[in-house]
């Protein structure tokens, strides 16, 4: 199969032939239909986060099941599926307490005595984030994908696998937004726009989108933002506090930069909660001051939005089919795998929403 290979951080990906193994007992072979281009992949491509090399990035995907192992019970050949990096074992403490996105069970990957899932000749290709989706096929554990309504267009469904699951999960699970509460979303890329849309679905009373790009602020308004603010304005945080008469109940950080994490805390009212979704620099610390603590402000991370993707993703698909979740606005452009480096260049600029790689 053809796949986009990362050999060295900071270098362009190359399209090469990769051998993919047959499904093991709990594994699923998927013909990839579409993959979103996420900033999380860019962190690995640019070397901000380490990963064994060579590897195939990509983790926000949808496709059709081609084959399954003899113990797979959750999907079958012919099913349309969305993948999610939050693979889960189903029996550890995290899983049985409902925190599937925190599962780190090693049995979800192949063991040392088993052949690798991906190879180039005699070279092992390391699977990234349980998926490695910038490829014509994916071989994953059955608990890294979920079947969806076959009526769902797969070039839209793919972005549910990360951007929407993360942004909506932050609203529905991590922040647990109640109807009428105020929400500020810092950063209007794919995850931030999904959070805006989810806040509207959740019945937030006021939704404030903060981004330096006018076009992204316009997209946020289309998706449900009641207010938009230029993130580059000197008084951006103060403007939010003034408009909300003391700050917001929930601030969602969806960029992964130190300044946006700090801004999320500045936006809070007494008792408010800041939820950090973006992948911050590994050495950065986001914190609360003594005065923040005295005001009962809270700061939390939310890996992949604290999702329960086997339940969440089919529901989000239903929201799209009902016209309540607007994925068409989130997706900026579609392109073939051969343009993956162009997609990353556009992501570095930060001017557009979500790009999608499609396979014919």
Q: Which of 43, 141, 143, 173 is catalytic?
A: 43
Q: Cis peptide before 279, with omega less than 30 degrees from 0?
A: no
What span, in angstroms and rounded, lies between the C-alpha atoms of 188 and 101?
23
**Which helix (DSSP H) or strand (DSSP E) does residue 36 occupy?**
strand 27-37
**Which helix (DSSP H) or strand (DSSP E) does residue 291 occupy?**
helix 290-294
What span, in angstroms and rounded, lies between the C-alpha atoms of 153 and 346?
24
Q: Which of 7, 21, 25, 40 is catalytic?
A: 40
Q: Which of 38, 84, 95, 188 is catalytic?
A: 38
| DSSP state at residue 337 | G
Q: Are 206 and 244 in contact (CB under 8 A)?
A: yes
| DSSP state at residue 338 | G
What span, in angstroms and rounded, lies between the C-alpha atoms of 355 and 343?
7
- For this structure, is 162 an active site residue? yes
- For this structure, is 38 an active site residue? yes
Task: Return left, alpha or beta for 299; rule: phi > 0 is left, psi -120 to 50 is alpha, else beta.
Answer: beta
Q: Which of 51, 101, 143, 162 is catalytic?
A: 162
What span, in angstroms and rounded, lies between the C-alpha atoms of 114 and 169?
35
- For this structure, is 289 an active site residue? no
Tell me the H-state helices in 130-283: 154-157, 163-169, 190-202, 214-223, 236-243, 258-266
- For this structure, is 103 an active site residue? no
Q: Mapping DSSP to helix (H, G, I), strand (E, B) and coil, where does residue 150 land?
A: coil
What span, in angstroms and rounded, lies between the C-alpha atoms of 71 and 24?
9
Q: Which of 51, 59, 145, 249 is catalytic?
A: 59
What span, in angstroms and rounded, lies between the C-alpha atoms of 232 and 253?
15
What span, in angstroms and rounded, lies between the C-alpha atoms of 36 and 58?
8
Least Cα distance to 160 among 299, 34, 347 occurs for 34
Q: Mapping DSSP to helix (H, G, I), strand (E, B) and coil, where does residue 277 land?
A: coil
Beta-sheet strands, E only, within 85-144: 118-120, 123-124, 126-127, 137-141
Q: Looking at the annotation, which residues are catalytic?
A: 38, 40, 43, 59, 162
């Amino acid at each position: 199969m053809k796949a986009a290979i990362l050999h060295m951080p900071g270098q362009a990906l190359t399209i090469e032939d990769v051998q993919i193994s047959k499904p093991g007992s709990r594994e699923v072979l998927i013909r990839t239909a579409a993959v979103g281009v996420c900033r999380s992949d860019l962190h690995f491509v640019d070397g901000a986060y380490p990963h064994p090399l060579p590897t195939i990035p990509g983790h926000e995907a949808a496709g059709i099941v081609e084959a399954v192992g003899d113990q797979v019970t959750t999907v079958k050949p012919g099913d349309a599926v969305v993948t999610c990096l939050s693979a889960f074992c189903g029996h550890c403490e995290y899983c049985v307490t409902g925190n599937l996105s925190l599962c780190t069970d090693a049995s979800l990957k192949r063991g040392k005595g088993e052949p690798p899932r991906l190879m180039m000749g005699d070279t092992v290709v390391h699977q990234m984030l349980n998926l490695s989706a910038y490829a014509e096929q994916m071989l994953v554990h059955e608990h890294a994908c979920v079947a969806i309504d076959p009526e769902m267009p797969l070039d839209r469904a793919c972005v549910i696998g990360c951007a929407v699951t993360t942004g909506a999960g932050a609203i529905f699970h991590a922040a647990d937004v109640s109807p009428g509460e105020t929400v500020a979303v810092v950063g209007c890329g794919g995850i931030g726009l999904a959070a805006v849309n989810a806040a509207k679905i959740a019945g937030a009373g006021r939704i404030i989108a903060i981004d330096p790009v006018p076009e992204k602020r316009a997209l946020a308004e289309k998706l449900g933002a009641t207010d938009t603010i230029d993130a580059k304005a000197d008084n951006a945080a103060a403007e939010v506090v003034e408009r909300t008469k003391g700050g917001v109940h929930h601030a969602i950080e969806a960029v992964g930069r130190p300044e946006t994490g700090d801004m999320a805390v500045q936006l809070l009212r007494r008792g408010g909660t800041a939820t950090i979704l973006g992948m911050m620099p590994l050495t950065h610390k986001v914190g609360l001051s003594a005065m923040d603590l005295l005001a009962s402000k809270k700061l939390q991370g939310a890996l992949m939005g604290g999702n329960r993707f086997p339940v969440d993703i089919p529901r989000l698909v239903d929201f799209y089919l009902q016209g309540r979740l607007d994925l068409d606005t989130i997706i900026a452009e579609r392109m073939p795998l051969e343009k993956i480096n162009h997609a990353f260049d556009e992501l570095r600029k930060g001017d557009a929403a979500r790009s999608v790689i499609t396979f014919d």
